[in-house]
Chains A and B, each alone.
Chain A
Amino acid sequence: MMRSLLTLLAALTLWAFPATAQQGGPLRLELTEGVIEPMPFAVPDFVADTPAAQEFARNIARVIAADLTGTGLFREIPAEAHISRITSFESPVQFADWRAINAQALVTGAVNVDGSGRVVVRFRIHDVFAGQELGRGQQLVGDRDGWRRIAHKVGDQVYARITGEGGYFDSRVVFVSESGPKDQRAKRLAIMDYDGANVQFLTDAASIVLAPRFSPTGDRVLYTSYETGFPRIYVLDVANVGRRVLPTLDGTMAFAPRFSPDGRTVLYSLTQGGNTDLYTMDITSGASTRLTTAPSIETAPSYSPDGRQIVFESDRSGTPQLYIMPVSGGEARRISFGQGRYGTPVWSPRGDLIAFTKQSKGRFHIGVMRTDGSEERLLTASFLDEGPTWAPNGRVVMFTRETQGAQGEARLYSVDITGRNLRQVVTPSGASDPSWGPLQN
C-alpha cells in the first residue's frame, strides 16, 4: 500500500505545531521530545527552455530547496542520489525512480526568458507515493532581478500545499546592520529577503538607529534615529527611501514606534521629565494622544492583529513585566507572572500568542505565551537573546542574539514556535532588531 504525502503530512503537522494541534497540551516545551524525520523531497534543476534561461534553471531550484530545508520540516535528497533526470517539463514523471530513493515530494519546473527579457517559470508539485500531482501546475513571471522572489513563491506554494499553512518565504526583513567595536558601533537601517539575500542599506551610519518596524503592507518603516542628537521617530518610504521625522515636543525623547494594523496610527514611547509613557500619533496629522500616565516605564508596545488591544512592557510592579490594555488606554492587566523580567512583547499575526524576551538567572530567552499569560514556553537561551518578530504565518520568530565579551557581536536567528530548528540568518555583517514584513504580493 502506498503512503500518501497528505496522510504523512497530517502527522507532520501535528508534530510540528503541538500548540494548536493539541488543546490543553503540556505547558512546557520539551525540546527533545517528539523529533521525527523531516520529509524527504527532491527539487531537480529546472529545465531551461532557452539558453538564456540556463542561469536561472539551477539557481531557482537551489533557492526552493534552501527555503524548504530551512523550515526544518523537509530534508532534500541531493541530486547525486537521483535516478531519473528531468529533461522535459512535459514528459510524465517516472514516479518509480523517485520512490526508489524515497523522495516523497518532487518539485519539477521549467524556465523561459521571454522576448521582453522576463523570466517565466512553470512548476509542478508531485506526491511521489500517490503517483500524482499535488494541486495544479502554475506559472510565475517576473523580471530578471526578481528570480529569487519567483523561487520563494514556488517554495511558498510547496510549503502551503504540503503543510496546509501559509508560507513565509517571499517576505522581507528590515533590521539594523551593525559594524565596528562595541563602544563605537555603527548602525544602519537595512532591508533584506527573509533568508538574508539582497541586503540593501536604507540609511547611512552617521547616526544611531534603533528597532525599525515594517508597516502592515511593507511599504513603510518606522524607526528611531539619533540624527538630531536626541531619539526621534522617523517614517521611511521603502520604495524611494524618502523619510521624514514625526513631530515631537522639544525636550522630549520619542522611540519604540509601531504601526497600527491599519497603518494610520503610530504607537510609541515618549519620555518627558525622565518618565516614559505610551502615546499614539495620527501619522498624517501628527496629533498625539497619551495612553498611560504611570510614573513607571511603559514601552515596547505591540498591537493585537485586530487593533483593539495593546500589549506592552512596564516596570510598575518593580520589575519589567507584560501588560495588556485596550487600544485607547485604560486599565491594564498583567499577563507575565514567571520568575524574571519580561520585555519586548510582540503579538502573533494569528492573534493567539505573544512572543517576548525573558531575562532570568543571568540568561536571556525568547519565549511565547498565550494572550492570557498561560502556557509560557521558552524557545531559546543564551547570553543575550532579544526582540522577537513573527514570520507572516505565525510559525517562526526571528530575533537578535548577541555574544558575550569585548568581541561580542549581534546576529539574527530564527526558531520555530516549538523551539526547534534554531538557525542563524546569515548576514554580511552584524545585525540586530529584525522586523519581519508581510508576505509580498
Chain B
Amino acid sequence: MTYLSKTMIFVAGLALAACTNPDRFEDQAGLGGGGFGTGAGSVSDPTSPAYFQQAIGDRVLFAVDQSTLSPAAQATLDGQAQWLMTNRDFTAVIEGHADERGTREYNVALGARRANAVQEYLVSRGVAGSRLRVVSFGKERPIEICSDEACYSKNRRAVTVLAAGLGS
C-alpha cells in the first residue's frame, strides 16, 4: 500500500550549490607582505637591510599579553630609528605577532597593539609616520613551533620589515 502523504522535492541545482571542482586552485603557500625577508646585502655594510636585521635587530619581544616596550626593546628600537633616519630610501612594515596561547581574533588585536607600540616609539624618535605601516598576524605566523615558553617568548614579537620605497 502506498501512502506517501507528504512529498518533499528538492531537485538538481539546489542539491549542490557550490563549485564542483575541488581543485580549481593551484596549491601555493606564501605569506603576504614583501620586504627583504632574509636581509639583503652584507651585514658589514651599515646601510644594508642585512645590517638592520642582524646588527641592530629587526625585532623586539613582549611579555605575555603585554604590548609595553622593555628597556631592551627600547634600545633596539633606538637603533632602528637611527638607521631609518639615516637610510631614508626605506619604508617599513611593522608586523605584530602573538603566541599560540590565545584565541585567534583576540590575538590579531593583541599583535596590532604590539606593532603599534613599536610604530609609536619609532615616530617618537623622529621617524616619519608616513614611512611606517603596521600589520598584525596574530598567532598565524610563529617563528618557533614548540609549545613551550622558550618558543612562545620568541613568537610574542614585533618585527620591523624593511621595504624599498621612498618615504612620501
Query: Residues of A with Cβ closer than 8 Å to B?
Result: 90, 118, 122, 136-143, 145-146, 149, 153, 180-188, 191, 198-208, 210-211, 219, 226-231, 238-241, 251, 253, 255-256, 269, 271, 273-276, 297, 299-300, 313, 315, 319-320, 341, 343-344, 357, 359, 383-384, 386-387, 402, 404-406, 408, 432-433, 440-441
B88 interface contact, C-beta 8 A: no
Assess the A142–B135 pair: CB atoms within 8 A.
no
Q: Which residue of B lies closest to A198 (CB)?
A: B16
B141 interface contact, C-beta 8 A: yes
A251 to B145, CA, bound (A): 30
Q: Given the known inter-chain contacts A231-B136, A274-B112, A320-B106, please indicate yes or no for A142 contacting B30, CB distance below 8 A.
A: no
Assess the A344–B112 pair: CB atoms within 8 A.
no
Q: Which residue of A lies closest to B33 (CB)?
A: A229
B108 interface contact, C-beta 8 A: yes
Assess the A149–B28 pair: CB atoms within 8 A.
no
Which B residues lie within 8 Å of A186 (CB)?
27-29
B22 interface contact, C-beta 8 A: yes
Residues 103-135 of B, flagged 1 when their CB comes within 8 A of A and 0 if not, give 111101110110111011000000000000111
In the complex, the 8 A-B pairs of residues with the closest C-beta atoms, listed nearest first: A274-B116, A146-B15, A143-B12, A204-B25, A276-B109, A343-B103, A226-B32, A229-B32
Assess the B113–A146 pair: CB atoms within 8 A.
no
A227 to B144, CA, bound (A): 24
B side interface size, CB within 8 A: 68
Q: Is the interface of B mostly helix, strand, loop or mixed?
A: loop
Assess the A205–B105 pair: CB atoms within 8 A.
no
Assess the B17–A269 pair: CB atoms within 8 A.
no
For this complex, 29 residue pairs linking A to B, each with C-beta atoms less than 8 Å apart, are A137-B2, A139-B4, A141-B9, A143-B11, A146-B16, A153-B8, A185-B140, A191-B18, A198-B16, A204-B27, A207-B32, A219-B17, A239-B17, A251-B133, A253-B108, A253-B135, A253-B136, A256-B105, A300-B105, A313-B103, A313-B105, A315-B106, A343-B106, A344-B105, A359-B101, A386-B104, A402-B100, A406-B147, A441-B10
A272 to B102, CA, bound (A): 21
A23 to B142, CA, bound (A): 46
Which B residues lie within 8 Å of A199 (CB)?
22
A341 to B103, CA, bound (A): 10
Most buried by B among A188, A276, A341, A357: A276
Assess the B5–A231 pair: CB atoms within 8 A.
no
Which A residues lie within 8 Å of B135 (CB)?
229-231, 253
Assess the A210–B27 pair: CB atoms within 8 A.
no
Assess the B143–A204 pair: CB atoms within 8 A.
no
B166 interface contact, C-beta 8 A: no
Q: Given the known inter-chain contacts A229-B33, A300-B106, please indicate yes or no for A204 contacting B28, CB distance below 8 A.
A: yes
Please pick, from B13, B19, B147, the residue contacting A241 in the complex, using a CB distance under 8 A.
Answer: B19
Assess the B15–A142 pair: CB atoms within 8 A.
yes
Which B residues lie within 8 Å of A185 (CB)?
140
Q: Taking the nearest CB of chain B, how far is it from the CB of A42, in angstroms?
A: 21
Assess the A143–B113 pair: CB atoms within 8 A.
no
Please pick, from A137, A256, A408, the residue contacting B3 in the complex, using a CB distance under 8 A.
Answer: A137
Most buried by B among A145, A229, A273, A406: A229
Assess the B25–A138 pair: CB atoms within 8 A.
no
